[in-house]
Structure 1
Amino acid sequence: MTGHFLEVLTLFVIVLIHELGHVAMARELGWRVTEVQLLPFGGVATIEDAYATDPLDEIVVALAGPFLNLVMMAFSYLLWYSGVWTEEWARFFLVSNVTIALFNLLPIWPLDGGRIVQAVLCWFMPYRQAAIVSMSVSTLLAAIMAGVSGQELKVNVLVIGLYLLAVNIQTFLRFPYQFLRFLMEKYVRQPEEYTVHAVSVHPAETVLEVAHKLRRGCSHLFYVQGAGLLAEEQLLHALLFEQKHDEAVGQLV
Protein backbone atom coordinates (compact mmCIF):
# COMPACT_ATOMS: atom_id res chain seq x y z
CA MET A 1 0.00 0.00 0.00
CA THR A 2 2.89 2.40 0.69
CA GLY A 3 4.96 1.33 -2.31
CA HIS A 4 7.67 -0.32 -0.19
CA PHE A 5 6.66 -3.98 -0.57
CA LEU A 6 10.12 -5.15 -1.66
CA GLU A 7 11.81 -3.29 1.19
CA VAL A 8 9.43 -4.70 3.83
CA LEU A 9 9.76 -8.21 2.38
CA THR A 10 13.55 -7.85 2.53
CA LEU A 11 13.37 -6.83 6.19
CA PHE A 12 11.38 -9.96 7.05
CA VAL A 13 13.88 -12.12 5.12
CA ILE A 14 16.72 -10.55 7.13
CA VAL A 15 14.82 -11.19 10.37
CA LEU A 16 14.13 -14.79 9.31
CA ILE A 17 17.82 -15.45 8.60
CA HIS A 18 18.71 -13.78 11.92
CA GLU A 19 16.36 -16.13 13.77
CA LEU A 20 17.60 -19.18 11.86
CA GLY A 21 21.01 -18.40 13.34
CA HIS A 22 19.53 -18.81 16.83
CA VAL A 23 17.67 -21.96 15.78
CA ALA A 24 20.73 -23.60 14.21
CA MET A 25 22.94 -22.94 17.22
CA ALA A 26 20.23 -24.03 19.68
CA ARG A 27 19.72 -27.30 17.82
CA GLU A 28 23.48 -27.83 17.72
CA LEU A 29 23.48 -27.63 21.52
CA GLY A 30 20.60 -30.12 21.72
CA TRP A 31 17.91 -27.58 22.65
CA ARG A 32 14.37 -27.94 21.33
CA VAL A 33 12.99 -24.99 19.36
CA THR A 34 9.19 -24.92 19.41
CA GLU A 35 8.37 -21.62 17.72
CA VAL A 36 9.83 -18.64 15.87
CA GLN A 37 7.90 -15.36 15.85
CA LEU A 38 8.83 -12.85 13.15
CA LEU A 39 8.48 -9.18 14.05
CA PRO A 40 9.44 -6.05 12.06
CA PHE A 41 12.31 -5.21 14.45
CA GLY A 42 13.49 -8.79 14.87
CA GLY A 43 12.12 -12.09 16.03
CA VAL A 44 11.73 -14.32 19.05
CA ALA A 45 12.69 -17.99 19.05
CA THR A 46 10.92 -19.99 21.74
CA ILE A 47 13.39 -22.57 23.04
CA GLU A 48 12.52 -25.33 25.49
CA ASP A 49 14.88 -26.98 28.00
CA ALA A 50 17.26 -24.01 28.14
CA TYR A 51 16.63 -22.51 31.58
CA ALA A 52 19.16 -24.61 33.51
CA THR A 53 21.91 -24.81 30.89
CA ASP A 54 25.35 -23.23 31.02
CA PRO A 55 25.09 -19.41 30.73
CA LEU A 56 27.84 -19.48 28.10
CA ASP A 57 25.60 -21.61 25.85
CA GLU A 58 22.85 -18.99 26.21
CA ILE A 59 25.28 -16.25 25.15
CA VAL A 60 26.47 -18.25 22.13
CA VAL A 61 22.87 -18.84 20.99
CA ALA A 62 22.02 -15.15 21.49
CA LEU A 63 25.02 -14.00 19.44
CA ALA A 64 24.33 -16.41 16.57
CA GLY A 65 21.62 -14.10 15.17
CA PRO A 66 23.73 -10.90 15.05
CA PHE A 67 26.60 -12.96 13.64
CA LEU A 68 24.47 -13.84 10.60
CA ASN A 69 23.67 -10.13 10.22
CA LEU A 70 27.43 -9.54 9.92
CA VAL A 71 27.61 -12.28 7.28
CA MET A 72 24.76 -10.66 5.32
CA MET A 73 26.49 -7.26 5.57
CA ALA A 74 29.62 -8.75 4.01
CA PHE A 75 27.42 -10.43 1.39
CA SER A 76 25.78 -7.10 0.45
CA TYR A 77 29.17 -5.40 0.11
CA LEU A 78 30.41 -8.23 -2.11
CA LEU A 79 27.37 -8.00 -4.42
CA TRP A 80 27.73 -4.21 -4.65
CA TYR A 81 31.48 -4.44 -5.31
CA SER A 82 30.90 -7.02 -8.07
CA GLY A 83 28.24 -4.83 -9.70
CA VAL A 84 25.29 -7.19 -9.09
CA TRP A 85 23.54 -4.74 -6.74
CA THR A 86 23.27 -1.00 -7.09
CA GLU A 87 24.89 1.14 -4.41
CA GLU A 88 21.45 2.31 -3.23
CA TRP A 89 20.10 -1.21 -2.70
CA ALA A 90 23.33 -2.47 -1.12
CA ARG A 91 23.26 0.50 1.27
CA PHE A 92 19.64 -0.25 2.22
CA PHE A 93 20.47 -3.93 2.83
CA LEU A 94 23.57 -3.01 4.83
CA VAL A 95 21.80 -0.40 7.00
CA SER A 96 18.87 -2.77 7.60
CA ASN A 97 21.21 -5.47 8.91
CA VAL A 98 23.10 -3.02 11.13
CA THR A 99 19.84 -1.65 12.55
CA ILE A 100 18.32 -5.08 13.27
CA ALA A 101 21.56 -6.43 14.78
CA LEU A 102 22.16 -3.41 17.04
CA PHE A 103 18.52 -3.16 18.10
CA ASN A 104 18.45 -6.82 19.09
CA LEU A 105 21.56 -6.28 21.20
CA LEU A 106 19.74 -3.78 23.43
CA PRO A 107 19.68 -5.11 27.03
CA ILE A 108 15.91 -5.60 27.00
CA TRP A 109 14.19 -8.98 27.34
CA PRO A 110 13.42 -10.92 25.11
CA LEU A 111 15.92 -9.32 22.72
CA ASP A 112 19.33 -10.95 22.31
CA GLY A 113 20.95 -8.31 24.49
CA GLY A 114 18.50 -9.00 27.32
CA ARG A 115 19.28 -12.71 27.17
CA ILE A 116 23.01 -12.00 27.23
CA VAL A 117 22.67 -9.71 30.26
CA GLN A 118 20.71 -12.36 32.17
CA ALA A 119 23.23 -15.07 31.23
CA VAL A 120 26.16 -12.90 32.41
CA LEU A 121 24.39 -12.19 35.71
CA CYS A 122 23.90 -15.94 36.16
CA TRP A 123 27.68 -16.29 36.41
CA PHE A 124 27.71 -14.11 39.53
CA MET A 125 24.43 -14.86 41.29
CA PRO A 126 21.71 -17.52 41.63
CA TYR A 127 19.33 -17.92 38.71
CA ARG A 128 16.28 -16.48 40.48
CA GLN A 129 18.13 -13.36 41.58
CA ALA A 130 19.75 -12.88 38.16
CA ALA A 131 16.41 -13.24 36.39
CA ILE A 132 14.65 -10.73 38.66
CA VAL A 133 17.46 -8.17 38.35
CA SER A 134 17.64 -8.49 34.56
CA MET A 135 13.85 -8.32 34.17
CA SER A 136 13.68 -5.24 36.39
CA VAL A 137 16.32 -3.43 34.33
CA SER A 138 14.68 -4.62 31.11
CA THR A 139 11.24 -3.35 32.18
CA LEU A 140 12.70 0.03 33.16
CA LEU A 141 14.52 0.40 29.83
CA ALA A 142 11.40 -0.56 27.85
CA ALA A 143 9.39 2.04 29.79
CA ILE A 144 12.05 4.69 29.11
CA MET A 145 12.02 3.79 25.40
CA ALA A 146 8.24 4.13 25.24
CA GLY A 147 8.24 7.37 27.24
CA VAL A 148 10.99 9.13 25.27
CA SER A 149 9.62 8.04 21.88
CA GLY A 150 6.14 9.16 22.96
CA GLN A 151 7.41 12.63 23.86
CA GLU A 152 9.27 12.92 20.56
CA LEU A 153 6.27 11.51 18.61
CA LYS A 154 8.29 8.65 17.09
CA VAL A 155 5.35 6.33 16.56
CA ASN A 156 7.30 3.30 15.31
CA VAL A 157 9.66 3.29 18.29
CA LEU A 158 6.74 3.98 20.63
CA VAL A 159 4.88 0.89 19.38
CA ILE A 160 7.98 -1.27 19.80
CA GLY A 161 8.65 0.16 23.27
CA LEU A 162 5.07 -0.53 24.38
CA TYR A 163 5.28 -4.06 22.98
CA LEU A 164 8.53 -4.76 24.86
CA LEU A 165 7.08 -3.23 28.03
CA ALA A 166 4.01 -5.50 27.77
CA VAL A 167 6.22 -8.55 27.18
CA ASN A 168 8.35 -7.76 30.24
CA ILE A 169 5.32 -7.25 32.48
CA GLN A 170 3.94 -10.56 31.24
CA THR A 171 7.32 -12.22 31.91
CA PHE A 172 7.28 -10.90 35.48
CA LEU A 173 3.82 -12.35 36.03
CA ARG A 174 4.86 -15.71 34.59
CA PHE A 175 8.19 -15.93 36.40
CA PRO A 176 6.99 -18.29 39.18
CA TYR A 177 6.15 -20.84 36.45
CA GLN A 178 9.46 -20.16 34.68
CA PHE A 179 11.33 -20.74 37.95
CA LEU A 180 9.46 -24.03 38.42
CA ARG A 181 10.55 -25.10 34.93
CA PHE A 182 14.12 -24.20 35.86
CA LEU A 183 13.88 -26.47 38.93
CA MET A 184 12.36 -29.30 36.88
CA GLU A 185 15.12 -29.04 34.27
CA LYS A 186 17.80 -29.21 36.95
CA TYR A 187 16.16 -32.29 38.43
CA VAL A 188 15.94 -34.25 35.16
CA ARG A 189 19.44 -33.41 33.92
CA GLN A 190 22.19 -35.87 34.79
CA PRO A 191 24.58 -34.64 37.52
CA GLU A 192 27.65 -35.50 35.42
CA GLU A 193 26.67 -32.78 32.97
CA TYR A 194 27.60 -30.13 35.53
CA THR A 195 30.52 -29.00 37.64
CA VAL A 196 29.83 -29.13 41.38
CA HIS A 197 29.24 -25.90 43.30
CA ALA A 198 29.44 -26.10 47.11
CA VAL A 199 27.04 -23.97 49.16
CA SER A 200 26.90 -23.56 52.94
CA VAL A 201 23.38 -23.13 54.37
CA HIS A 202 21.90 -22.78 57.83
CA PRO A 203 19.85 -25.83 58.99
CA ALA A 204 16.87 -23.59 59.80
CA GLU A 205 16.56 -22.34 56.21
CA THR A 206 13.56 -23.76 54.38
CA VAL A 207 13.77 -25.98 51.33
CA LEU A 208 12.32 -23.18 49.17
CA GLU A 209 14.80 -20.60 50.49
CA VAL A 210 17.70 -22.90 49.65
CA ALA A 211 16.23 -23.58 46.19
CA HIS A 212 16.43 -19.84 45.54
CA LYS A 213 20.24 -20.21 45.74
CA LEU A 214 20.47 -22.61 42.80
CA ARG A 215 22.56 -21.48 39.85
CA ARG A 216 22.53 -22.30 36.15
CA GLY A 217 25.05 -24.63 34.60
CA CYS A 218 26.25 -26.39 37.74
CA SER A 219 25.21 -29.00 40.26
CA HIS A 220 25.07 -28.11 43.96
CA LEU A 221 26.26 -29.84 47.09
CA PHE A 222 24.85 -28.16 50.20
CA TYR A 223 26.73 -28.19 53.48
CA VAL A 224 24.04 -27.91 56.14
CA GLN A 225 25.90 -26.39 59.08
CA GLY A 226 26.13 -28.82 61.99
CA ALA A 227 24.03 -31.46 60.21
CA GLY A 228 25.88 -32.79 57.17
CA LEU A 229 25.75 -32.80 53.38
CA LEU A 230 22.67 -32.51 51.17
CA ALA A 231 22.71 -33.29 47.45
CA GLU A 232 20.87 -31.05 44.98
CA GLU A 233 18.76 -34.00 43.82
CA GLN A 234 17.50 -34.61 47.39
CA LEU A 235 16.58 -30.94 47.77
CA LEU A 236 14.71 -30.81 44.46
CA HIS A 237 12.88 -34.07 45.13
CA ALA A 238 11.68 -32.75 48.50
CA LEU A 239 10.55 -29.50 46.87
CA LEU A 240 8.95 -30.80 43.68
CA PHE A 241 7.48 -34.13 44.71
CA GLU A 242 7.19 -34.20 48.50
CA GLN A 243 5.80 -30.64 48.84
CA LYS A 244 8.22 -29.81 51.66
CA HIS A 245 8.54 -26.15 50.71
CA ASP A 246 8.55 -24.82 54.28
CA GLU A 247 10.48 -27.66 55.91
CA ALA A 248 13.93 -26.85 57.31
CA VAL A 249 16.76 -28.33 55.25
CA GLY A 250 18.27 -29.67 58.45
CA GLN A 251 15.41 -32.20 58.49
CA LEU A 252 16.41 -33.59 55.10
CA VAL A 253 19.93 -34.61 56.12
Structure 2
Amino acid sequence: MTLRRFIPAIHIHPILLIFIIVSFLTGTFIELMIILGIVLFHEFGHFIMAKVFKWRIRGIMLWVFGGVMDTDENGTSPLSEEIMVTIAGPFQHLFIYVLLLFLSANSIVPSSIIELAFFYNSAILLFNLLPLWPLDGGKLLFQILSALLPYRKAYDYVIIFSICTCIIFLVVQLLFIPFTLSAFMLFLFLLVENRSDWKQRYYVFIRFLLRRYHGESYIKGDRPIEVSHHIFLMDVFSNFYREKRHSIYVTFPGNIRESIDEMDCLHSYFHERNYSKQIGEITSHLSG
Protein backbone atom coordinates (compact mmCIF):
# COMPACT_ATOMS: atom_id res chain seq x y z
CA MET A 1 0.00 0.00 0.00
CA THR A 2 1.28 3.46 -0.87
CA LEU A 3 0.96 6.57 1.25
CA ARG A 4 -1.09 8.21 -1.53
CA ARG A 5 -3.99 5.87 -0.74
CA PHE A 6 -4.39 7.60 2.63
CA ILE A 7 -3.02 11.10 1.92
CA PRO A 8 -4.12 12.83 -1.31
CA ALA A 9 -1.91 15.04 -3.45
CA ILE A 10 -2.47 18.60 -2.22
CA HIS A 11 -2.02 21.58 -4.55
CA ILE A 12 -2.15 25.29 -3.70
CA HIS A 13 -4.04 27.65 -5.99
CA PRO A 14 -2.06 30.75 -7.09
CA ILE A 15 -4.60 33.05 -5.44
CA LEU A 16 -3.89 31.33 -2.12
CA LEU A 17 -0.18 32.07 -2.53
CA ILE A 18 -1.11 35.76 -2.86
CA PHE A 19 -3.10 35.58 0.38
CA ILE A 20 -0.16 33.90 2.15
CA ILE A 21 2.20 36.68 1.06
CA VAL A 22 -0.31 39.32 2.12
CA SER A 23 -0.75 37.62 5.50
CA PHE A 24 2.98 37.87 6.19
CA LEU A 25 2.99 41.57 5.26
CA THR A 26 -0.10 42.42 7.29
CA GLY A 27 0.58 40.27 10.35
CA THR A 28 -2.42 38.00 9.80
CA PHE A 29 -0.50 34.75 9.29
CA ILE A 30 -2.08 33.04 12.32
CA GLU A 31 -5.57 33.79 11.00
CA LEU A 32 -4.66 32.37 7.61
CA MET A 33 -3.23 29.21 9.17
CA ILE A 34 -6.49 28.72 11.08
CA ILE A 35 -8.44 29.11 7.84
CA LEU A 36 -6.19 26.67 5.97
CA GLY A 37 -6.43 24.14 8.78
CA ILE A 38 -10.24 24.27 8.66
CA VAL A 39 -10.28 24.08 4.86
CA LEU A 40 -7.93 21.09 4.87
CA PHE A 41 -10.05 19.30 7.49
CA HIS A 42 -13.12 20.06 5.35
CA GLU A 43 -11.51 18.58 2.24
CA PHE A 44 -10.40 15.46 4.09
CA GLY A 45 -14.09 14.84 4.78
CA HIS A 46 -14.70 14.69 1.02
CA PHE A 47 -11.57 12.57 0.55
CA ILE A 48 -12.42 9.98 3.22
CA MET A 49 -15.99 9.53 1.96
CA ALA A 50 -14.75 9.25 -1.64
CA LYS A 51 -12.27 6.58 -0.52
CA VAL A 52 -15.12 4.67 1.14
CA PHE A 53 -16.77 4.47 -2.29
CA LYS A 54 -13.42 3.66 -3.95
CA TRP A 55 -13.43 6.73 -6.15
CA ARG A 56 -10.38 7.61 -8.22
CA ILE A 57 -8.95 10.82 -6.79
CA ARG A 58 -6.33 12.95 -8.53
CA GLY A 59 -5.75 15.38 -5.68
CA ILE A 60 -7.04 18.38 -3.73
CA MET A 61 -6.68 22.02 -4.77
CA LEU A 62 -6.67 24.46 -1.84
CA TRP A 63 -7.74 28.07 -2.05
CA VAL A 64 -8.86 30.51 0.64
CA PHE A 65 -12.22 29.60 2.23
CA GLY A 66 -12.46 26.37 0.30
CA GLY A 67 -10.95 23.74 -1.90
CA VAL A 68 -11.79 21.34 -4.71
CA MET A 69 -11.23 17.58 -4.77
CA ASP A 70 -10.45 16.47 -8.31
CA THR A 71 -11.91 13.05 -9.17
CA ASP A 72 -12.79 10.95 -12.22
CA GLU A 73 -16.27 10.13 -10.95
CA ASN A 74 -18.41 13.21 -11.60
CA GLY A 75 -21.59 12.27 -13.44
CA THR A 76 -20.78 8.56 -13.60
CA SER A 77 -21.11 7.37 -10.00
CA PRO A 78 -24.49 6.85 -8.29
CA LEU A 79 -26.11 10.18 -7.45
CA SER A 80 -26.45 9.09 -3.81
CA GLU A 81 -22.67 8.60 -3.60
CA GLU A 82 -21.97 12.03 -5.06
CA ILE A 83 -24.35 13.66 -2.57
CA MET A 84 -22.74 11.86 0.38
CA VAL A 85 -19.24 12.82 -0.77
CA THR A 86 -20.38 16.43 -1.14
CA ILE A 87 -21.99 16.75 2.29
CA ALA A 88 -19.09 14.95 4.00
CA GLY A 89 -17.08 18.19 3.77
CA PRO A 90 -19.58 20.48 5.55
CA PHE A 91 -20.19 17.68 8.09
CA GLN A 92 -16.55 17.99 9.20
CA HIS A 93 -17.30 21.43 10.61
CA LEU A 94 -19.42 19.81 13.33
CA PHE A 95 -16.34 17.90 14.52
CA ILE A 96 -14.38 21.16 14.50
CA TYR A 97 -17.02 22.78 16.73
CA VAL A 98 -16.77 19.87 19.18
CA LEU A 99 -12.97 20.08 19.17
CA LEU A 100 -13.03 23.82 19.79
CA LEU A 101 -15.48 23.40 22.69
CA PHE A 102 -13.18 20.79 24.22
CA LEU A 103 -10.11 23.02 23.84
CA SER A 104 -12.00 25.97 25.29
CA ALA A 105 -13.35 24.03 28.28
CA ASN A 106 -9.88 22.77 29.18
CA SER A 107 -8.06 26.08 28.50
CA ILE A 108 -5.60 24.30 26.19
CA VAL A 109 -5.57 27.09 23.61
CA PRO A 110 -5.82 30.87 24.22
CA SER A 111 -9.41 32.12 24.08
CA SER A 112 -8.56 34.60 21.32
CA ILE A 113 -7.50 31.73 19.03
CA ILE A 114 -10.64 29.76 19.92
CA GLU A 115 -12.86 32.74 19.08
CA LEU A 116 -11.11 33.21 15.74
CA ALA A 117 -11.46 29.51 14.94
CA PHE A 118 -15.17 29.57 15.82
CA PHE A 119 -15.72 32.57 13.55
CA TYR A 120 -13.79 31.17 10.58
CA ASN A 121 -15.32 27.71 10.98
CA SER A 122 -18.80 29.22 10.75
CA ALA A 123 -17.85 31.55 7.89
CA ILE A 124 -16.25 28.79 5.83
CA LEU A 125 -19.20 26.45 6.43
CA LEU A 126 -21.77 29.06 5.36
CA PHE A 127 -19.67 30.19 2.39
CA ASN A 128 -19.28 26.63 1.09
CA LEU A 129 -23.03 26.05 1.34
CA LEU A 130 -23.77 28.91 -1.07
CA PRO A 131 -25.43 27.45 -4.21
CA LEU A 132 -22.52 28.53 -6.42
CA TRP A 133 -20.29 26.27 -8.49
CA PRO A 134 -17.82 24.79 -7.52
CA LEU A 135 -18.72 25.24 -3.83
CA ASP A 136 -20.43 22.37 -2.04
CA GLY A 137 -23.76 24.18 -2.24
CA GLY A 138 -23.28 24.55 -5.99
CA LYS A 139 -22.46 20.87 -6.33
CA LEU A 140 -25.59 19.93 -4.40
CA LEU A 141 -27.61 22.23 -6.68
CA PHE A 142 -26.09 20.55 -9.73
CA GLN A 143 -26.78 17.07 -8.33
CA ILE A 144 -30.43 17.98 -7.71
CA LEU A 145 -30.78 19.48 -11.19
CA SER A 146 -29.08 16.48 -12.81
CA ALA A 147 -31.67 14.22 -11.20
CA LEU A 148 -34.44 16.26 -12.81
CA LEU A 149 -32.90 17.43 -16.09
CA PRO A 150 -30.57 16.03 -18.76
CA TYR A 151 -26.95 16.08 -17.62
CA ARG A 152 -25.75 18.70 -20.08
CA LYS A 153 -28.61 21.09 -19.38
CA ALA A 154 -28.16 20.74 -15.59
CA TYR A 155 -24.45 21.54 -15.87
CA ASP A 156 -25.05 24.55 -18.11
CA TYR A 157 -27.77 25.92 -15.83
CA VAL A 158 -25.70 25.75 -12.66
CA ILE A 159 -22.73 27.47 -14.32
CA ILE A 160 -24.93 30.23 -15.79
CA PHE A 161 -26.63 30.74 -12.41
CA SER A 162 -23.26 30.93 -10.65
CA ILE A 163 -21.81 33.43 -13.14
CA CYS A 164 -24.88 35.69 -12.91
CA THR A 165 -24.93 35.54 -9.10
CA CYS A 166 -21.23 36.39 -8.83
CA ILE A 167 -21.62 39.35 -11.20
CA ILE A 168 -24.62 40.64 -9.24
CA PHE A 169 -22.75 40.36 -5.94
CA LEU A 170 -19.67 42.14 -7.29
CA VAL A 171 -21.77 44.99 -8.68
CA VAL A 172 -23.77 45.31 -5.47
CA GLN A 173 -20.61 45.41 -3.37
CA LEU A 174 -19.00 48.04 -5.57
CA LEU A 175 -22.05 50.30 -5.71
CA PHE A 176 -24.37 49.70 -2.76
CA ILE A 177 -22.64 48.15 0.27
CA PRO A 178 -19.35 48.76 2.12
CA PHE A 179 -16.44 47.37 0.10
CA THR A 180 -14.63 44.33 1.53
CA LEU A 181 -11.50 43.29 -0.33
CA SER A 182 -11.55 39.65 0.84
CA ALA A 183 -15.21 39.13 -0.18
CA PHE A 184 -14.63 40.91 -3.48
CA MET A 185 -11.63 38.70 -4.31
CA LEU A 186 -13.46 35.52 -3.34
CA PHE A 187 -16.42 36.23 -5.60
CA LEU A 188 -14.12 37.44 -8.35
CA PHE A 189 -12.26 34.14 -8.05
CA LEU A 190 -15.55 32.23 -8.28
CA LEU A 191 -16.49 34.25 -11.35
CA VAL A 192 -13.18 33.43 -13.04
CA GLU A 193 -13.52 29.73 -12.16
CA ASN A 194 -17.06 29.57 -13.52
CA ARG A 195 -16.05 31.37 -16.70
CA SER A 196 -13.30 28.80 -17.18
CA ASP A 197 -15.72 25.92 -16.52
CA TRP A 198 -18.17 27.43 -19.01
CA LYS A 199 -15.48 27.35 -21.68
CA GLN A 200 -14.73 23.71 -20.79
CA ARG A 201 -18.37 22.58 -20.63
CA TYR A 202 -18.20 20.75 -23.97
CA TYR A 203 -15.22 18.67 -22.82
CA VAL A 204 -16.94 17.90 -19.51
CA PHE A 205 -19.91 16.56 -21.46
CA ILE A 206 -17.71 14.55 -23.84
CA ARG A 207 -16.03 12.96 -20.82
CA PHE A 208 -19.48 12.08 -19.45
CA LEU A 209 -20.40 10.45 -22.79
CA LEU A 210 -17.10 8.59 -23.10
CA ARG A 211 -17.44 7.08 -19.64
CA ARG A 212 -20.95 6.01 -20.61
CA TYR A 213 -19.72 4.55 -23.92
CA HIS A 214 -17.08 2.50 -22.11
CA GLY A 215 -19.65 1.14 -19.66
CA GLU A 216 -18.24 3.01 -16.67
CA SER A 217 -21.43 4.87 -15.71
CA TYR A 218 -23.88 3.74 -13.05
CA ILE A 219 -27.26 2.87 -14.62
CA LYS A 220 -30.39 1.95 -12.69
CA GLY A 221 -33.34 2.60 -15.00
CA ASP A 222 -34.67 3.27 -18.49
CA ARG A 223 -35.92 6.51 -20.00
CA PRO A 224 -37.03 6.61 -23.66
CA ILE A 225 -36.18 9.60 -25.83
CA GLU A 226 -38.23 10.75 -28.81
CA VAL A 227 -36.45 12.80 -31.49
CA SER A 228 -36.94 13.89 -35.07
CA HIS A 229 -34.90 12.22 -37.78
CA HIS A 230 -33.09 15.41 -38.82
CA ILE A 231 -31.29 16.29 -35.57
CA PHE A 232 -27.60 15.52 -35.09
CA LEU A 233 -26.11 12.97 -32.72
CA MET A 234 -24.79 15.58 -30.29
CA ASP A 235 -28.30 17.03 -30.01
CA VAL A 236 -29.56 13.54 -29.16
CA PHE A 237 -26.86 13.15 -26.51
CA SER A 238 -27.94 16.46 -24.98
CA ASN A 239 -31.12 14.66 -23.87
CA PHE A 240 -29.20 12.00 -21.91
CA TYR A 241 -29.89 11.72 -18.19
CA ARG A 242 -27.49 10.36 -15.65
CA GLU A 243 -28.27 6.88 -14.26
CA LYS A 244 -30.71 6.23 -17.15
CA ARG A 245 -30.42 3.96 -20.17
CA HIS A 246 -32.06 5.43 -23.26
CA SER A 247 -33.98 3.78 -26.05
CA ILE A 248 -34.17 6.42 -28.77
CA TYR A 249 -37.31 6.59 -30.91
CA VAL A 250 -36.72 8.41 -34.18
CA THR A 251 -39.68 9.93 -36.05
CA PHE A 252 -39.41 9.99 -39.86
CA PRO A 253 -41.67 11.73 -42.41
CA GLY A 254 -45.08 10.10 -42.56
CA ASN A 255 -45.04 9.65 -38.79
CA ILE A 256 -42.94 6.49 -39.16
CA ARG A 257 -41.04 5.63 -35.99
CA GLU A 258 -37.96 3.46 -35.57
CA SER A 259 -35.90 2.78 -32.47
CA ILE A 260 -32.16 2.78 -31.93
CA ASP A 261 -30.17 1.96 -28.79
CA GLU A 262 -28.05 4.66 -27.18
CA MET A 263 -24.92 2.49 -27.44
CA ASP A 264 -25.34 2.34 -31.22
CA CYS A 265 -25.41 6.14 -31.29
CA LEU A 266 -22.36 6.43 -29.03
CA HIS A 267 -20.50 3.85 -31.13
CA SER A 268 -21.36 5.72 -34.31
CA TYR A 269 -20.09 8.97 -32.83
CA PHE A 270 -16.90 7.87 -31.05
CA HIS A 271 -15.84 4.81 -33.04
CA GLU A 272 -17.09 5.59 -36.53
CA ARG A 273 -16.62 9.35 -36.07
CA ASN A 274 -19.97 10.32 -37.55
CA TYR A 275 -19.81 13.76 -35.96
CA SER A 276 -22.03 15.51 -38.51
CA LYS A 277 -24.55 12.80 -39.34
CA GLN A 278 -28.22 13.07 -38.47
CA ILE A 279 -29.84 10.48 -36.23
CA GLY A 280 -32.14 9.44 -39.08
CA GLU A 281 -29.15 8.46 -41.25
CA ILE A 282 -27.66 6.36 -38.46
CA THR A 283 -30.97 4.64 -37.74
CA SER A 284 -31.70 3.91 -41.40
CA HIS A 285 -28.21 2.49 -41.91
CA LEU A 286 -28.53 0.13 -38.94
CA SER A 287 -32.04 -0.99 -39.82
CA GLY A 288 -31.11 -1.49 -43.46
Partner of 1:217: 243
**1:137 and 2:161 are equivalent in the alignment:** yes
Tell me by how many angstroms 1:197 deviates: 2.2
Deviations 1:17-74 (A, max 9, x none): 1111111222222322212111121111111232333333322221111000121112
Partner of 1:66: 90
> Any conservation in 2 of the 1:54–1:218 contact (CA below 8 Å)?
no
**TM-score under structure 2 normalisation?**
0.81
**1:43 and 2:73 are equivalent in the alignment:** no
Partner of 1:199: 225
Deviations 1:119-153 (A, max 9, x none): 11111110111111111100011112222233332
Which of the numbers 174, 195, 207 marks the counterpart of 1:181? 207
The residue identity in structure 1 corresponding to 2:203 is Y
Give structure 2 stretches of 5+ with no counterpart: 1-23, 284-288
**1:154 and 2:184 are equivalent in the alignment:** no
> Any conservation in 1 of the 2:36–2:64 contact (CA below 8 Å)?
yes
In the TM superposition, 1:117-136 aligns within 5 A as 117-136=141-160
**TM-score under structure 1 normalisation?**
0.91
Tell me by how many angstroms 1:193 deviates: 4.2
Tell me the secondary structure at the aligned position of residue 60 of structure 1.
Answer: helix
The residue identity in structure 2 corresponding to 1:186 is R
Tell me by how many angstroms 1:191 deviates: 7.1
Which of the numbers 28, 31, 37 marks the counterpart of 1:13? 37
Deviations 1:189-223 (A, max 9, x none): 25774322222233333222111101112222223
Aligned residues: 253
The residue identity in structure 2 corresponding to 1:49 is E
Partner of 2:133: 109
Tell me the secondary structure at the aligned position of residue 130 of structure 2.
Answer: coil
Kindly tell me: are residues 28 and 221 of structure 1, through their superposed partners in 2, closer, same or farther at Cα, counting changes over 3 Å?
Answer: farther
Between structure 1 and structure 2, the one with the greater Rg is: 2
Kindly tell me: are residues 146 and 185 of structure 1, through their superposed partners in 2, closer, same or farther at Cα, counting changes over 3 Å?
Answer: same
Partner of 1:23: 47
State the percentage of identical aligned residues. Answer: 28
Give structure 1 stretches of 5+ with no counterpart: none
Moved over 6 A (4+): none
Tell me by how many angstroms 1:102 deviates: 0.9
Tell me by how many angstroms 1:117 deviates: 0.8
**1:251 and 2:275 are equivalent in the alignment:** no
